[in-house]
Each structure stands twice: as C-alpha cells, then as structure tokens.
Amino acid sequence: MSAASAVAASASEPTSPLPERDGRFQSPSPPAPIGRLAAVQEMARWLRLLFETEREFVRTATTLIYRVGEPELKYLLCQHVWEAANHARFLRERGRELSGFGTTDEVRPALRQLFNEAVMPADATVALAGFYRVIKPALHDAYRRYLTATHHLADWPSRKLVEEFLADEARHATEIAPYLPVAASASEPPSASPVAASASEWSAHLTTLLASHGGPLSPSPPLPLSPSSAPPLLSATRGYTHPPTPNRGRFPTCSSVFSHDPAETPIVRTWLIDPTTDARVIRIMVYVWLMMELDAVDYLATVFYDTPHAPFDLHHDLARHLWDESRHSQFGYRQLPSLGVDLLTLEHSLDLYTILVQMTPPERYAMMTMEFEANSFPTKAHVMDRVRELNDFEADTLLAFDRNDEQNHVRSGHRWLPVMMALFGETRSPEEFVTATRVRFAELAKTYGGITPHSLPPSQRLTGEKILRLIK
C-alpha cells in the first residue's frame, strides 16, 4: 500500500489511549455513525484526523530546522510549519461546529507513534525525505479524498478550507523538491549514493508503518500485521534528543558576533550606542544582528517536540513566533549582500543554542521572551533612530516590523510561560522562575558558552574594522 493510498481511509479512531497488542497500539473497529447526524459526524471525524495530522507535523517537523544547514531550507521549513499551524487552527474551528469532532486537542496514539518515528534518523536529509515523500503526500491525498467524500453544498465551509489547504500542500511539495535527495537508482549500488539509498530505505519504512495502521490518516480501521511483518520502531528503543549544536552547513561559525573589539567581531557593542558612529555602520551591524536571529530560530524550534501535551494554541503561537524570527533573519540574509557583505565571511553565532539546549523548555522560552527580547528594546530603539538618518525606507520598514513582532513575542511570553511552567510541574511564580533562570543560564554559560571557535581567521571574517572599510 502506498503512502498516498493509505492516507484517506482512521478518522473514526478514538482520541483516547488505545489498547496495545504486541507492544503496538491497535485501533478497534468503531461502529459506523448512526442517527440523524450520521453524515455530519462522519465528516467531523475526517476533519479531526486532518487537524491532528497538521498538529503533529508542527510538533515534529520543527526538529528538522536546527538539523539542516542551509538557511534557505530553514526559512522554508519555518514557513511550512506556520502554514500547517494555520491549517490545524481552521480545521479545529470548523470541526467544532460539527457534531462528533471532539473537544480536546489531544492526538491519538497511533498517529503520534508515526510522527515520533519520523524524527528518528540521525541524518536530517533522510528525515526530511520521510516527511516530504511519505507523510506530506499522505496528507495531500487525505485532503483530496475528503473533497470526493463530502457533499459540495452541505459541507461548503469545509470544502473551501480543504481546497485551499490542498493547494498549499501541492506548493509545499514543489518548494521542498530542490532540497530532497535524488532518488536512488535501482542500477546503482547503495555505496554510490549513500544518502539517497538511506532516504529511500527510510521512506519505505515509514510507508510500511503508515500501512500497518491501516493508514492513520484514513477513516477505515487498520489491518493489523503479524509481529513478523510489523516494522521495528527506532523510537521504541531510544528517545529522540536534540543535537548539542545546530547545523549551519557551509557557513562559518563562532560563539558570538558581539564583542567590544572591532578586530574580533562584526557587532561592536559600544559602536551601536555611540552617537558618533556612522549610521551606515550601524545599519550593517543591525542587519548582522537580524540575520543572527537564526539562532533564535534554531533554539525555539527545539521547544515543540519537548512539549507534546501543550495546548494547541500554545504551539500555534510558537509557530508564529518561529516564522517571525525566520523572517527577521531573512531581513539580514537578503540585505547584507547589497551592502557589500560576502555572507561566507560572516560567521554564525552558536552560543545561545549550545547553552539553551541544556535547559528545560520553559527555561528556554523564559530566556527568549523575558530576557533577550524584552531587554533588546532600548538598544534597538536607538538603532532605529540612527538608521532613519539614512532615509532608507526599506531598512526603516524592516526594523519597524521587527520591533512590532518582538513586542508581540513578549506579550505571548507573559501568556504562555505560566502554562509551559505548569506542564513541567513548576510551582514558582513566573517572576521567581525568570530570576532563577537567568542565574542558571549564567552558570551554564560558563561550561557551554564560548565553546565554538572562530571558523575563519580575523583576516578573512567580517569584523567591525572591515565594516568601516565597506562604507568608504
């Protein structure tokens, strides 16, 4: 059974924990909907399954972001995650209008098992292939079959949503295609293209897992496989862990792009606030600062997988936060070359990730929203005023939207930090927790900060001194 054909038939699976058989969750065959609202309930179960699938994609596809190296791919994944979060939001909104959708945000165990397995490959390219060659095509097919199963007029509100989401899924497939490994040739030995071979093997594994549940993305009950036929699960033998450092691919890295030494780093702290600094220098430095929000993308992406039972609205807002940080990083990534900066001379800072990945999800989120973002406003306000001297409308626009987004992130932090704390049994007040987290961050920085050496010597990397030469 192909992934696509397996998708369309377990919306009727209950969302409560299912009985186990041979260590694997099994779904009993539910009775067909009966009664006056049977047709409504049947489509509500489809919508429920689609909601859970999009939600799980948000939770797990985020593990790809810090494991792939190409910034453009990171940005694209952030966009797809945000769009998936919106799909889930509107599916839930529509579903709650229908009898039989359910009232909780929980995900059925069989579906969670599939997504927990999907993150397991050590090679991010292999994992990417599993998501986009098995799971996303299955989701695309589920949307397509929904349109054939429902009534064009009676279920018009759902159809309009599904038609839009179906188009999104087709676009996602086109956008991701350049980043997927070339399919392995049957005539070539695996050694000729090991990544392609591994990706093909992994995709086949996920396809078998999908079929073994009868297609967790379909409304028909599963056809249980014999223990000898069921695929062994990597996720059953070991847990997923975040890598100690994020992947930045071909780009040089360092611990931090901030210092007080213009011969050492591109952002010189004293220059940012010195009224005599040339505004053109400040513009380049703030674009470097914005591009380095890629570290925020990487460490925020770790929070989703670690909070599987968070309210969906929390993950929805985190997905927006993630997409915002991705866009901010793109501000710098796309503007710096026009100002004469060779991006391969700009080292990427890794300190925040290497420290924060040692902390709990609420600690990571507290440092991001209540410390880094909340305390950046005074310096960024001064920077915005200085850049305005250049009459650079695009720069002014980018900085204005960055500031507006950051204000929203701090507001979200006040809303969601207490919820995240509760998920981890934290009973202190948010104020006490944030204070203690700052202290813990400082302690961890002694061990995990400053551990990434400069990839490039001073003569080759972008520094404050070189920025001065760029504006001459």
Residues 227 and 311 in one domain: no
Q: What mean pLDDT is predicted for residues 63-86?
A: 98
Residues 272 and 227 in one domain: no
Residue pLDDT, tens place only, 230-272: 678 999 999 999 999 999 999 999 999 999 999 999 999 999 9
Q: What is the pLDDT of residue 231?
A: 75
CB 95 within 8 A of CB 36: no
Total domains in the chain come to: 2
Q: What is the pLDDT of residue 218?
A: 60
Residue pLDDT, tens place only, 118-173: 999 999 999 999 999 999 999 999 999 999 999 999 999 999 999 999 999 999 99
Q: What is the pLDDT of residue 194?
A: 87
CB 25 within 8 A of CB 111: no
Q: What is the pLDDT of residue 136?
A: 96
Q: What mean pLDDT is predicted for residues 305-327?
A: 98
pLDDT over 80 (residue 21)? no
Q: What is the pLDDT of residue 185?
A: 61
Residues 196 and 311 in one domain: no
Q: CA 354 to CA 255: how far, in whole Å?
A: 9
Residues 149 and 228 in one domain: yes
Q: What is the pLDDT of residue 4?
A: 42
In a domain, 30, yes or no: no
Assigned token pair, 75: 């940005």
CB 12 within 8 A of CB 219: yes
In a domain, 28, yes or no: no
Residues 192 and 230 in one domain: yes
Residues 307 and 403 in one domain: yes
Residues 207 and 294 in one domain: no
Assigned token pair, 145: 């079959």
Residue pLDDT, tens place only, 415-434: 999 999 999 999 999 999 99
Q: Which of 189, 205, 236 is the last residue of a domain?
A: 236
Q: CA 3 to CA 208: how far, in whole Å?
A: 8
In a domain, 247, yes or no: no
The CATH number linked to 154 is: 1.20.1260.10
For the chain, give the mean pLDDT. 90
In a domain, 354, yes or no: yes
Q: What is the pLDDT of residue 13?
A: 40
Q: What is the pLDDT of residue 3?
A: 46
Burial code (b: 16+ CB inside 10 Å, e: under 16) for 234-272 equals bbeeeeeebbebbbbeebbbbbbbbbeebebbbbbeebb
Q: What is the pLDDT of residue 470?
A: 96
Q: Which residues contact 210 (CB under 8 A, 6 or more apart)?
A: 1, 3, 6, 7, 114, 134, 135, 138, 216, 217
Residues 269 and 191 in one domain: no
CB atoms within 10 A of CB 45: 24
Residues 185 and 287 in one domain: no
Residue pLDDT, tens place only, 374-411: 999 999 999 999 999 999 999 999 999 999 999 999 99
Residue pLDDT, tens place only, 207-219: 999 887 665 466 5
In a domain, 244, yes or no: no
In a domain, 31, yes or no: no
Residue pLDDT, tens place only, 33-51: 678 899 999 999 999 999 9
Domain containing residue 371: 253-470
In a domain, 92, yes or no: yes
In a domain, 248, yes or no: no
Q: What is the pLDDT of residue 131?
A: 98
Residues 175 and 311 in one domain: no
Measured between alpha carbons, how far is residue 192 from residues 31, 177, 197, 199, 310 in Å?
A: 51, 21, 9, 13, 43
Residues 376 and 320 in one domain: yes
Residues 210 and 293 in one domain: no
Q: What is the pLDDT of residue 182?
A: 86
pLDDT over 50 (residue 439)? yes
Total-model pTM: 0.90
